[in-house]
Amino acid sequence: MGILIWFSQIIRIVELQFSISNQIFDVLTGTIYSIPSFLTPLMPFLILLGSFFFNTNFNKNTEIMILKQYLSSKSYFSICFIIFSLICSIHIINSEYFSKKFYEIYKIKEIDIRNNLQIGFPSQNEFHIDEKISIFFEKKNENTFYNIEALIYENNQLIVSDRAEIELSKLNFNLVFHDGEKIILNESEKSKTKFDKFIYVLEDKKSEKLSYDKEHYNTKELINSNNKEFINYGHNRIYQYFFLISILLISSKIIFFINKNKNILFLNSFICLFVLMLQIINSFLIYLLSNLSINVYIYYIINLTFLFFFNFFIFKFYK
């Protein structure tokens, strides 16, 4: 599932009409930074699937079945508490800190890759942009080219300079040449000029800007935001923590559940269906909350009530 998410992010960044052979490593490493933010909503489902897997294997292992019979309730509770506390801690740290930090790095790299795709890729010490300008250089370091010879076709200009930089800080893409000479040979002008700095603006090339979305903020920042959508997303995160705790409690029953008289496959399928339904209900409540059809108190009351009855029925089944 994580591999599918990673692949989907690669496809989202790169449009198929562009060749990415020159920057495939940048694309792959850039999308890795998005994985922590996508693991956050998947964590409860991964825990649930893991509990099904362990239950299947534990039921086949007679030594574990014997161990369970001699395991006291206190020892069983202590083991579950330690493991689940560790999982919750890792999940909260990832949700509130790591996913936020890595997501920002991911978005910056995504924008950088998209910006580079718009102007093309340098190859064999040559760089051609939309038949407007050609740059020939000896070496390159990120967005800086050294020992430049450039041809600007529009005005028949030849530029020779020590270095040139691609400037993305403004709305347009700019090529900034340093310490060189500019030769113009056309019908209206024939000249040779030395310069310390010369800026060539690439018209019709708009650079993307980093805009902060919900994933850039932790829960406290979302709740304190002035943006209604961000506030609702913050409440959704809080609910997801309750949802995770609920899944952990259910998993504690599933992992060590041994009862040959009950249809385990049916119970597991029922849990998966109910979990999916809970998330659908939550999504619908978020929609109502965004449209001011309900207030935040109703949102929590309905969601937590469903969670309570969900746990109650599951604990009844897994006896």
* pLDDT single digits (tens) 13-63: 444 444 444 456 666 666 777 788 888 888 888 888 888 887 777 666 665
In the chain, how many domains are there?
1
pLDDT, one tens digit per residue, over 239-259 is 999 999 999 888 887 876 665
**Is 66 a member of any domain?**
no
Quick one: average pLDDT of 152-159? 81
**Is 199 a member of any domain?**
yes
**Is 232 a member of any domain?**
no
Exposure of 95 by Cβ count < 10 A (0-12 exposed, 13-18 middle, 19+ buried)?
buried
Q: In which domain, by residue range, is 161 found?
A: 122-206
**Is 190 a member of any domain?**
yes
Q: Residue 120's pLDDT is what?
A: 53
Quick one: average pLDDT of 108-117? 63
**Is 6 a member of any domain?**
no
Length of the chain in terms of residues written: 319
